[in-house]
Amino acid sequence: DIQMTQSPPSLSASVGDRVTITCRASQGITHYLAWFQQKPGKAPKSLIYAASSLQSGLPSKFSGSGSGTDFTLTISSLQPEDFATYYCQQYDSYPYTFGQGTKLEIK
């Protein structure tokens, strides 16, 4: 199975900040990488697919980059509604594994 490692596990930031979350795959996955946002008690919400493509209707404050084994999610101009847990997922090969999550908290 492909292991997905996210860093950092948690992150404190202030409203208005820009933050970057990293996801590393244990082997190359080309661009088959997605990012999700999850708030407590809610289903995950899809943000990014194919490493850098923004899901329809989402603001451009969310951006993804990377290929191969190293990927990043950047969130600019943080707003209160952006504080949540973020997960990466590879869908290059089964099983489609997730990272362990990064909890973004308000400083």
How many CB atoms sit inside 10 A of residue 24's CB?
Answer: 16
- For other proteins, which is the closer residue by CB, 14 or 60? 60
- For other proteins, which is the closer residue by CB, 73 or 97? 97
CB 75, min distance to other proteins, A:
18
- Return residues touching other proteins (CB under 8 A): 1, 32, 34, 36, 38, 43-46, 49-50, 55, 87, 89, 91, 94-101
- Please enumerate in sequence order all residues whose Cβ is within 8 A of that of 24, keeping only pairs 6 or more positions apart, or say none: 4, 5, 6, 7, 69, 70, 71
CB 14, min distance to other proteins, A:
26
- For other proteins, which is the closer residue by CB, 17 or 72? 72
